[in-house]
Structure 1
Amino acid sequence: MHWLKILTPLLAATLWTTASPLVAAQNRGDDALLAMQQAYRKGDRSQLAQLLPAVRGHALEPWGAYWELRVRLDDAQPEEVQAFLSRWAGSYQEDRLRNDWLLLLGQRRDWMRFAQLLPTYRMQDDRGVRCYALTVDQIEGKAGPAAAQELRDLWYAQRDADDGCTNAAASFYAAQQLPASDIWRKARLASEANRQRAVRDAVQIVSPESVPQVNELFASPIKYLTGQRMARGQVRKELGLLALIRLASNDPGQAAAQLEDRWSALLTAEERNWAWGVIGKQAAFKLQPEAVGYFAKVRQDKDLSDDLLGWKARAALRAGQWRQVGQSIDAMTPQGRADSTWVYWKAKSLLALHGGDAERAQAQKLLQSIASEGGFYEQLALEELGQRVTVPPAPAALTAQEKAAARGNPGLQRGLQAIQLGLRSEGVREWNYTTNLHTPGGMDERSLLAAADWACQREVWDRCINTSERTRNEVSWSQRYPMPYHDTVIARARTIGLDPAYVYGLIRQESRFIMDARSGVGASGLMQVMPATARWTARKIGMTEFTPGMINDHEVNITIGTAYLKLALDDFDGSMAMAAAGYNAGPGRPRVWRNGPVLDAAIWAENVPFTETRDYVKKVLANTTAYAALITGQPQSLKARLGTVGPRPSNEPEPVKDLP
């Protein structure tokens, strides 16, 4: 802004007078958009209609137009929808509304209009829309075995009830293209996930008269399993299995007793195997040593889902039963076995069993297939092969033309503008849509790097990281592992005896460096500190002037977050894995999870019962190792940061008893 300093006061005033109406108009448009977002969330049709003219000509007008039409889509005429699609052709908002309209047409069973519109749907990422499309294929006689398998995969992956996939399943079942056993399998999965409506919807397809019993078995599974219906022989064995699944979620031991005493003879061999698998999983959730015994009652592993087999493998890992680890992984589907988690543990099981040259060669091949500097098991595989984590070579520098192409992309421009206006959710979705490799005109790796570079320059760190992470051959660690607030983080961490790489690894996972990030439970800022935790920590470190409003100041947030992390680390004897688990799930849970045998921390982390916390711990530790390589310039070891996890010695007091 040096040029402003040399303008005469008169010229400066003239420029300001000329620009101010434009600035004021832009501000009015911004304010109207923010108000429209709030009106959309409330479903306020009248307010949206009143505000829409105020955003005409604004760069983000497509969002205002989308909100105004979407909130009244149920009553909109097809011609009105088509006019919107034409007006905003090629935009994210066009395809977003097309997605919404396709779902509505499917719900209305308007298959003719649905089929006409489907070919222009670009995102192709909505399970419900895809299930409706499969229904159309089935009605038209175009659906074969591959379509039935796709439907199974889509339906089973949905935890909540969904009209699209449920309707498709009913259609395929009626046409004898989906057997009853597949419908009951969906009911099992939904029962395990405690999704009563999804269970009812599945049972409605194969046994409508049994739907009232679904409510009974959810209300009290033990009463259902031992009640009068069984005595009179009026219960379906499939419903008994659902009740056993529900009972196991609360009391695996009681479910095991019911299965052995009453239900084993009533169920098929496949159903018994599934029941024991669920009971074993629930016992493994609770870290009960009985889990291994329950899983041992499964006579054919192929009867279990990949999820149940995964928990069988975890229980075997915890018990040191390497042969069972390998057998459980071998029974998974090809997709399950391809997950880096199970590639790594299969290789480890082969090495642990001290097999011959063929087994060692197989283990070596498995490790080589996933080994890299990024990712928890990828880094561990690298170390098993005798290497360390180092910073990969940077890609060739972006050219001026590549950078200009990213900055000139309308979708990226709108995405960043929305984010910086405060429409983060909308901006992220538009950014992701624009960078999606599967859309027409989607980006190659150099274009992704250029988009990530622009996001980094604008300090929109989450889009920088997430966009860069999608490249496979062109890998930029400066984009994937940025270090905002470098001096503050490094100085604060070293002052209190924390590894700065650990702090950065945690922040990257917690907030992606979004300063105003706020979680659904109220955690705030870079290090996602809860209000009560912030107050407690501030008192603990003598920050007497602290007020809740200060937590979004980056220096205050880092000061309090690192202080709490150091206290957690001390409480868990320096274990980065346990401290990360405590930071995510609260310290009380890992204090319980550490009880039992002394374990390699990788095995301990893989047995963390909460999926979110299990993934969190692994990602924080992998991030930490990568940041350490960047900060020090030296090869790094993830294994050295893991160590072992076991019970706190009985004669060792808890360092911070009141740690929240």
Structure 2
Amino acid sequence: MKRAWNAQGSALGIALALGIAALLSAATARAESTSRLAELRGALHAADKESDAALRGYRSRLGNDPLWQWVEYAALRRQTRPLSEAEVRTFLDRYGDMPASAGLRALYLRQLATREDWQAYRRWYAGSDDVVLQCHALTARIATDDAARTVDDALAMWMSGDSVDSACDLAFAELRRRGLIGSEQIRRRIALAVERGNTGLIRFLARELPADERATVERYARFIETPDSAPAQWPKSALRDAVIRAGLQRIARRNPEAAVGIANALTPSLSADLLGDARNAIALWTAANGLPSAQARMREVPPQAFDARLHEWHVRSALSASDAQGALDAIAAMPTEQRLQPRWQLAEARLREARGQTELAKAAYQRAAGSPSFHGFLAADIIQQPYALCPLAAPRKADAAPVLQDQPGLQRALDLFQLDRVSWATQEWNRVVPALPLPMQAAAVKRALDVGWYDRAAQTLGSGEGMRYYRQRFPQPYARQLRTEARQHDLDPAWVAGLIRSESVWMANARSHADARGLMQLLPGTGQLTARRLGMPWKGGDSLYHAPTNLRLGTAYLRQMRDRYNGQAFLATAAYNAGPGAVERWLTRRPMQGLLADPILWIETIPFLETRDYVARVMAFSVIYDWRAKREPRSLWARLRGERSGTSAGFQCPAM
């Protein structure tokens, strides 16, 4: 017995020693990594500041580091004198076909174009997605080569309904000099500009036409901008029809009722297809603007002129009028693939249930409930069925290591992200990760999550089977602060998490084009007002990049929206996205009464696609965050309406 105890103790001691050694080794590796990145940060700073002496010191220590190429690139990019061919050649020979090499090549090409060294430009140009570089390449080819294919490519670039970058002006001037841009080419491009509604380009091109033709084209541009009944007197032509189509679509969006009068006046002179397109645009924008004539306008659209978007708005216009049968008829008129989408199956189920068609409603609920989505989760709740969720597990670290270790670009991407060089990091990531097998992509995302690069999951696993990697797609950073702030403001933490996942994908430094900032994407003005209301000191808009500050202010603002709408989470969520003013307008135009007393159907009538999808996304994500927290999931149907009680039937992967 004593020998057995000694053997067990010895084995335990060995295991303990190995465990301690592994922990010490990991701690040493982390310390070395931190020290290395600190050195690289200093080197990049020296490169940015053109501090040659400091850079030489860093080179002696870091010259063989995988990221040194980016330090060299930063130094070459910042130098005041132009790059020499020898410098670029040396860099590319040393590092090969890497993102840093592509960046340096593009920089050198721009410098060559500035110097108009077209011979060198042709030698160095290797294709690009950059339109400016493409334009310079055309100029270089025309300047050094008379091959017919060159001018054909230049003419193809010029022949666009959109304005083309001014970098192409030299190439286009050469086309004119050679007589390759004449009246016929100008007419063809004007036709393309008409399709795009680009009246500025139309007028610019018309200046090169004869006076009488220029006057005609000017009339076309005026009609597109301010349509009237004048085209009834115009000679029929394909261009005239395109002008009418562009003008009617524009005014239908601005003023659908005015568009009705013009379309009616022009009807005798319009083809069936053109009239159908006009009726489609009028009906669409009448419905989207919530005008009472929407259903009447829908009836004026020939069946063959309906497209997928108009089918959707046909349903919404009937819902807005509380016309259940009209909405069911509009769903039935959809193409089969569209009609069977969970969104419309749920809408059909709600409508049939409202009309007492219990069995038909149940069948529609059942069809929708198999979808792991907002509409699927709601359908499952209503028929008391588990939420359909079939998660995939990313490979374990040990299993993924042999594959990922062969991808040095992935480690460069992760290191660059930690060095706050996100653009460079993204270039490295995009070069490597999308080419990996899907499970390895998920493993790469796990590594990105470890360094706080949370948006890689949404960017990499955002479609197809990748969406089933729920653990990677729905990370839980700042979980403790989130729970604290949610509790402080009496908010459902899964709702808050779903909103943050939709707003910023958990990137604390996120900033939108509208200047919304941080985790919960608050505008500085909103942040300041909320801070004042809470009695918090306001330290300026940049304080919103501080995660705890953003969470405190964002949850307070969300609570303010919830209180404003009597606890109804779907309205509060819509207001968080579009603003309470927009929600008030929608409630005025489409009061929650009749059919629209049903939140599911009211949400479907939200006129902004962004907000309509945002509400669905946030609420669906709240369900996923219940799953991630391993707690009994709340009923989404109850959560939507702000009810504090109600649980779902759990999660289950349907037989596939």
If the TM-score is normalised by the length of the shorter chain, which range does it land in?
0.5 to 0.7
Match of 1:560 among 536, 553, 560: 553
Question: Given the alignment of the two structures, is residue 273 of structure 1 paired with residue 273 of structure 2, yes or no?
Answer: no
Task: Tell whether 2:297 aligns with 1:287.
Answer: no
What secondary structure does 2:269 align onto?
Answer: coil
Q: Deviations over 1:210-258 (max 9, x none)?
A: 643453234x414xx145x755769924322322222122211111122
Written as runs of structure 1 = structure 2, the 5 A alignment for 1:500-539 is 500-539=493-532
- Which one has the largest radius of gyration? 2
Query: Larger deviation: 586-595 or 455-464?
Result: 455-464
Q: 1:475/1:236 Cα in 2 relative to 1: closer, same or farther (>3 Å)?
A: closer
Q: 1:19 to 1:513 in 2, by over 3 A?
A: closer
- Alpha-carbon deviation of 1:517? 1.6
- 1:90 CA drift (Å): 5.3
Q: Quickly say closer, same or farther: Cα 1:286–1:405, change in 2 above 3 A.
A: same
Q: TM-score, normalised by structure 2?
A: 0.67
**2:255 paired residue number:** 251
- Cross-structure match for 1:586: 579
Q: What residue in structure 2 maps to residue 424 of structure 1?
A: 422
Match in the other structure for 2:43 = 29
Asked if structure 1 preserves the Cα contact closer than 8 Å seen for 2:206 and 2:217, the reply is yes
| SS of structure 2 residue aligned to 1:574 | coil
Partner Cα separation in structure 2 for residue 608 and residue 380 of structure 1: 18
Which residue in 2 is equivalent to 1:109? none
1:474-520 deviation per Cα after TM superposition (whole angstroms, max 9, x unaligned): 94433222221112111221222111111111111111111122222
CA distance, structure 1, for counterparts of residue 570 and residue 382 of structure 2: 20
Partner Cα separation in structure 1 for residue 206 and residue 376 of structure 2: 42
Q: CA deviation at 1:272?
A: 1.3
Whole-Å Cα distance in 1 between the matches of residues 362 and 577 of structure 2? 39
| Distance verdict in 2 for CA 1:345–1:551, change over 3 Å | same
Show the counterpart of 2:327: 322
Given that 1:221 and 1:244 are in contact with CA atoms closer than 8 Å, whether structure 2 keeps it comes out as no
Q: Is the 8 A contact 1:34 1:423 kept in 2?
A: no
What is the CA-CA distance between 1:642 and the residue it aligns to?
3.0
Separation in 1, partners of 2:505, 2:335: 36
RMSD: 5.8
Name the SS of the counterpart of 1:487 in structure 2.
helix
Which residue pairs with 1:481 in the alignment? 474
Higher mean C-alpha deviation, range 308-317 or range 591-600 = 308-317
- For 2:44 and 2:547, locate their aligned partners in 1 and report how far apart those are by CA, in whole Å: 26
Of 287, 310, 314, the residue aligned with 2:312 is: 310
Instruction: Give the aligned partner of residue 212 of structure 1.
Output: 218
CA distance in 2, matches of 1:569, 1:544: 24
Q: Distance in 1 between matches of 2:189 and 2:366?
A: 36
Q: Which moved more, 1:499-508 or 1:394-403?
A: 394-403
How many Å separate the matches in 2 of 1:311 and 1:379?
23
User: What CA distance in whole angstroms lies between the structure 2 residues aligned with 1:201 and 1:638?
Assistant: 55
Deviates most, 273-282 or 605-614: 605-614
- Residue type matched to 1:322 in 2? A
- What secondary structure, in the 3-state scheme, does the structure 1 residue paired with 2:393 have? coil
Q: Deviations over 1:83-108 (max 9, x none)?
A: 98876555456678999999x99xxx
CA contact 1:256–1:279 (8 Å) conserved in 2: yes
Q: 1:407 to 1:280 in 2, by over 3 A?
A: farther
SS of corresponding position for 1:608 = coil
Task: Kindly provide the amino acid, as one letter, of the partner of residue 428 in structure 1.
Answer: T
Q: 1:254 to 1:409 in 2, by over 3 A?
A: same
1:584-619 per-position Cα deviation (integer Å, ceiling 9, x unaligned): 222111111122242233333333233322222221
Query: Identity across aligned pairs (percent)?
Result: 27
**How many pairs are equivalent?**
559
Alignment-mate amino acid for residue 326 of structure 1: I
* Counterpart residue number, 1:608: 606
Residues 1:451 and 2:444 are matched in the alignment: yes
Q: 1:449-470 CA distances to partner (integer Å, 9 max, x unpaired)?
A: 2112111211221124543545
* Equivalent residue, structure 1, for 2:9: none
TM-score for both structures, normalised by structure 1: 0.67
In structure 1, how many angstroms separate the alpha carbons of the residues matched to 2:563 and 2:600?
A: 20
Unaligned residue ranges in structure 1 (runs of 5+): 7-15, 37-46, 106-112, 133-138, 141-150, 152-157, 164-179, 437-441, 645-660
In structure 2, relative to structure 1, the CA distance for the partners of 1:545 and 1:518 (3 Å cut) is closer
CA separation of 1:77 and 1:341: change in aligned 2, threshold 3 A: farther
Residues 420-476 of structure 1 show CA distances to partners (whole Å, capped at 9, x for unaligned) of 22222332343234221xxxxx22232122112111211221124543545727944
Which one is further off, 567-576 or 391-400? Answer: 391-400
Instruction: Name the CA distance, whole Å, in 2 between partners of 1:19 and 1:340.
Output: 48
CA distance 1:162–1:376, change in 2 (3 Å): farther
Number of the residue aligned with 1:40 = none
Q: Which runs of 5+ in 2 are unaligned?
A: 1-19, 25-30, 114-121, 138-147, 150-155, 166-186, 643-656
Paired residue secondary structure (1:288): coil
Contact preservation (8 Å) 1:493, 1:500? yes
- The answer for the alignment partner of 2:453 in structure 1 is 460
Moved more, 449-458 or 469-478: 469-478
